[in-house]
Amino acid sequence: MTGADRIKLEPSWKARVGDYLLREDMQALSAFLHERKAAGARIFPPGPQIFAALDATPFDRVKVVILGQDPYHGFGQAHGLCFSVQPGTAVPPSLENVYKELQRDLGIRPPGHGCLTHWAEQGVLLLNAVLTVEEGRAGAHQGKGWEGFTDAIVEALNREREHLVFMLWGSYAQKKGAVIDTSRHRVLRAPHPSPLSAHRGFIGCGHFSAANEYLVRNGQTPIDWALPPAAALTAPASGPT
């Protein structure tokens, strides 16, 4: 998984965090993933999509960072972007609440699907703290090494970029984003959009309009948060990882 002969990092990210994948703890993570797969575990997202968030949003194009926890663990859901699911997959409850707030904040109606690739292509880094999971086992790969790698991604953005927007939804994301220099970046905090907590302040947070206002104020193009309709997307072929 971590070797150069397996998965290639997008060049701008490889220049900044590629060496991290050579660390001993990342080699142990690679061995763990191979062991779990050999034992019959179905790992999501599929191998080529593990680093999809970095592939879709190169380092110099990042404008907004949304931090998630770990991938969806249902078959055919995860494709490497946090909160996003593949075309043709039912919209998860947390994402439904994201869409509710988007409509309340900017008047944008839900698109009828859960694929957020359009955001990623505009500079919204949709980064999970843990990049793999096992079918039916939420959090199965937490504490195995991914967190340090994704911390390195956040730290590189914090250190080398300016005027980014970090959307930290829930205590887990807020803890991970504690290193962010708020004098150089805009940090937006709210409860997680999960049905358990969305109505404690996520609904009404206004993060989407606040992000765009900050970007424009700092000379950047705002994000078009309106997603294309489902008819414009092509559902991928489903299959085992």
Q: Report the pLDDT value the prediction gives residue 73, as an integer from 0 to 100.
A: 96
In this structure, what are the phi and psi dihedrals at residue 21, rounded to the nearest 5 degrees?
-70, -10
DSSP bridge pairs for 186 = 165
> 74-86, pLDDT tens digit by residue?
999 999 999 999 9
- Is 70 catalytic? The answer is yes
Q: Report the distance separating Cα 21 and Cα 146, nearest Å.
A: 10
DSSP bridge pairs for 189 = 168
Q: Report the pLDDT value the prediction gives residue 1, as an integer from 0 to 100.
A: 44
Residue 25 has pLDDT above 70, yes or no: yes
> 166-183, pLDDT tens digit by residue?
999 999 999 999 999 999
What is the pTM (predicted TM-score) of this model? 0.93
Contact 210, 193 (CB under 8 A): no
Tokens representing residue 195 in the block = 């049905």
The catalytic residue among 19, 25, 55, 70 is: 70
Binned at pLDDT 50, 70 and 90, residue 2 comes out as very low
- Picking from 228, 210, 101, the residue whose alpha carbon sits closest to that of residue 165 is 210
